[in-house]
Structure formats: structure tokens, C-alpha cells
Chain A
Amino acid sequence: MEEKKVTKAQELVYELRIRDAMTKEVITIKPDHIIKDLRIMLKENRISGVPVVDRELMVGIISIEDLIKALAKNEMDAKVHEKMTKNVITLYEDEPIINAVKKFNKYDFGRFPILNREGKLVGILTQKDIIKGILRRIELDYHTNELQKYKNVDIFKDIVTEHTNIIVRRYVAGNDFIHGGEAAEEIKRSLAGLGIKPPIVRRAAIATYEAEMNLIIHADGGEMIANINKKRIKIEANDNGPGIPDIEKALKGGFSTAPDWVKELGFGAGLGFINIRNCADEINLESEVGEGTKLKIIINL
């Protein structure tokens, strides 16, 4: 048996509300106007019917059909309230468009006045409005999808050769807590922009953040380099700081050499290297006391 399909337009008819399609600037007419005035109003505004409003309350509706009937009976000087339809079929703005479609099928009217739940006239809906509303939404969805598709470009599949590396370089200032984390944010944005999958981006972001904070807290600044190719992301953090005396101990983590005032800010919990190790596939730490430190973090793609 063939699988039943529902088109996007059908889906939208259930999803969109009347307020998403209706015309909000409603042209209205007063009950004591004469029918002749209606003719000009309909012609100039290119509409087929008008709600009749008396002191902010809708009292009826009058259409081109009523005009024709009056013309046939030669009653063009009659008042609007004499010829209008008093039992107006209306819809509420928060109803789904499918309700309007059903009403258009049931009644032979060209338009429905739309009310809010307080009973106030807030718009008018014709079948043309429904079509316009659906088309507008389809266009908007298409535009959004196009943008997303563009972002999901996997650069390494679509553009880059085997031997291409993309390098993002960032200098990090020491003790600059105000900008702490910004290098990690930039690198994260670059990775996401290159189409790398979110779980990998997150791991790289966490590892980069910890490496960056080490530069800020312990090393008096340094350089962060993200080097990305088809196979892996390599993040390097290099500094000319005091160096790490006991590398094994540092990598095990759980202690911190950060000053007290830094610890009070929530840094230096001793978890930095532990976090990096949990996020990376490989790390390499070289350090010389008095010279500086080089940290390499590798995350495979």
C-alpha cells in the first residue's frame, strides 16, 4: 500500500494561526452610509466586502453581492444597515487556518472578519490571504533551511585537499581575566563554522578553555594555535612562563599553584589538566623551569 503523504502546505494549514495570514488593516464602513459609497470603497481598495462598524462594535458585514442586489432593485440610496448581513460568521485570530478553510467550504462567503477573544475586530481573512500566508511561511522556511545548509558545509569534504591545514592563531594576555575564555570561544566558533560535529567542538572548546586559562593564570600569557586538517584538531598553547617543575604531578591534577585571590574567583581548582585529558585523544606537555611550557592537545576527527 502506498505510503500516505501530507504536503508542507497541508501541514502549515494546521500549524499556522489565522493571525499569521489575516489582513490587519481592516477597512470598515459605518451603518448610516449609503450603498453608493460602498461601491467606491470596494473599487478603490480592490476588496470584495467590508465589515460594518458602529462605534467600535461590528454590527454586520456588507459585500459586493449585496451591492449588486441593491443595484438590481434600483436601491442605490439605501443605507448600509438596511442591506447588510447581520448574522456575521466570524473566526478568532488564534484559531488554526484549517478552521477557516472548513468555513470557506461550508459557506459561500468571500471573507470572514476576524475577532480576538475579547470580541474586538482585529482583521479580515480571504482565501487569497490564506494562500499568501502559506507561501510567505514556505518562503521563510526555505530561506532558513538554505542558511542552515550553508552552515553545515563540511569544508573538509567539499573544499579542502589532503594536505590543507587551517590555522587559527590567538595571543592571550597574562592575568587578563576579563577576556579569559575569549580565545576558546573564537576557536569554538571557527570549528563550528568549519562544519565539525558538535560533540567534537565541545571537547575542543573545553580543552582550549583550560589551556587558555593556564596561560592567563600561571604563565603570564602566551600563544594559542588551533591547527585543523582532515584528520585531527591540534591545539597548542605555548608560553615563556615559569615552567612546570613536576610534569607528572601536574598532569595528574588535583592540586593548584594558583594564588589565593585567583582561587577565590573559582579558578585553580586543580581540574584543568584533568579536563584536558578527558577531552583529548592525545596530549603532549613539555616544560622547562625558567624557560616556558609547550602544551599540545590532539582531538581526532
Chain B
Amino acid sequence: MNHKLKGGSLTLREIKYKLALNIRTAKKHLNEEVTGGYSSDLLSDVMANAKKGNIWITIQSHPNIVAVASLLELSAIIVTGGKKIEKETLSRAEREDITIFDTTESTFNIVGKLYKMGVIGG
């Protein structure tokens, strides 16, 4: 059974702090609450399954991740694995007002930590 933590949902600020993420774009949304999380590196899979307000964890860092996040109204993207994010991705994210975090940690670890914090998928 999936249950969401209502009234106890995590904000981007808490996630950023607890996972020691670097914020790269659209820094004004840190009070936003996440509705859950999704992890996938296949864009069509994200388009099919991620929900509005989810935080998306991926190693993909090219500009199209911004389109996906914008179309699905995701709360933020965490780019993992220490990948250098393309300049075009960052400028597009600022234009579309999409928050991108990056981290050197792996997707596996980040997802595990988020899950422990109560950020659930589905």
C-alpha cells in the first residue's frame, strides 16, 4: 500500500539539506513540497509514469530533461553520478524555471536515502 505523508511532505529545502545536494538552477522553489519520487533514465518511461510534483532522479543531463520536467510539472530534477550538466541544460532550466540539483552520489544511494526519508514512488 502506498501512502503519502500529507501535511508532513518534504520540501525541496529539506531534501537539499539532508542529501547535501548542490542547487544549480531556479533557486526560488525551495519551499515547494514534493509529492513523491521517480527514478528512470529513459525519458518516455518518465513521461508515462512520473506524477506531477514528483522529484526525478536521473543520470541524464542533456537539455531534454528540462522539457520532461516542465511538461509533467515535476518539482525538481536530481542529476546523479557527478555528471557535468550541459550549459544548454542549465540555461533552459532557468528559462523554464525548473529546479535542478546535482550530486556525486549514485542514483541508487540517493533514491535509497529519499525513500528512507519518506519520499515514495507511485
Binding site for B on A (CB under 8 A): 177-182, 184-185, 188, 202, 205-206, 209-210, 213, 265-267, 269-272, 274-275, 278
Contact = CB atoms under 8 A, between A and B. Distances in A.
Interface of B: prevailing SS: helix
B68 interface: yes
Contacts of B70: 181, 185
20 contacts: A178-B62, A179-B63, A181-B64, A181-B71, A185-B96, A202-B72, A206-B71, A206-B72, A209-B47, A265-B64, A266-B43, A266-B58, A267-B44, A269-B44, A271-B45, A271-B48, A272-B44, A274-B48, A275-B44, A275-B47
A180 B48 contact: no
Most chain B C-beta atoms within 10 Å of own C-beta, residue among A188, A213, A266, A272: A266
Interface in B29-75: 41-45, 47-48, 52, 58, 60, 62-64, 66-68, 70-73
Most chain B C-beta atoms within 10 Å of own C-beta, residue among A179, A181, A182, A270: A181
A181 B44 contact: no
B52 A202 contact: yes
Contacts of B72: 202, 205-206
Contact of B68 (A179, A181, A182): A181
Contact of B60 (A178, A179, A265): A265
Interface in B59-108: 60, 62-64, 66-68, 70-73, 88, 96
B103 to A, nearest CB: 18
A210 B58 CA distance: 19
Given A184-B71, A185-B70, A271-B42, A177 B47 contact: no
Contacts of B41: 266
A210 B62 contact: no
A285 to B, nearest CB: 17
Most chain A C-beta atoms within 10 Å of own C-beta, residue among B47, B67, B68, B88: B47
A99 to B, nearest CB: 25
A185 B60 contact: no
Contacts, number: 73
Nearest to B73: A202
Given A180-B63, A181-B64, A265-B62, A275 B48 contact: yes
Most chain B C-beta atoms within 10 Å of own C-beta, residue among A209, A274, A275, A278: A209
Contacts of A271: 42, 44-45, 47-48
Given A209-B71, A266-B43, A267-B43, A177 B64 contact: yes
Nearest to B59: A266
B71 A188 contact: yes
A265 B71 CA distance: 18
Contacts of B88: 178
B42 A180 contact: no
Contacts of A205: 71-72
A180 B44 contact: no
A269 B71 contact: no
B66 A181 contact: yes
Nearest to B42: A269
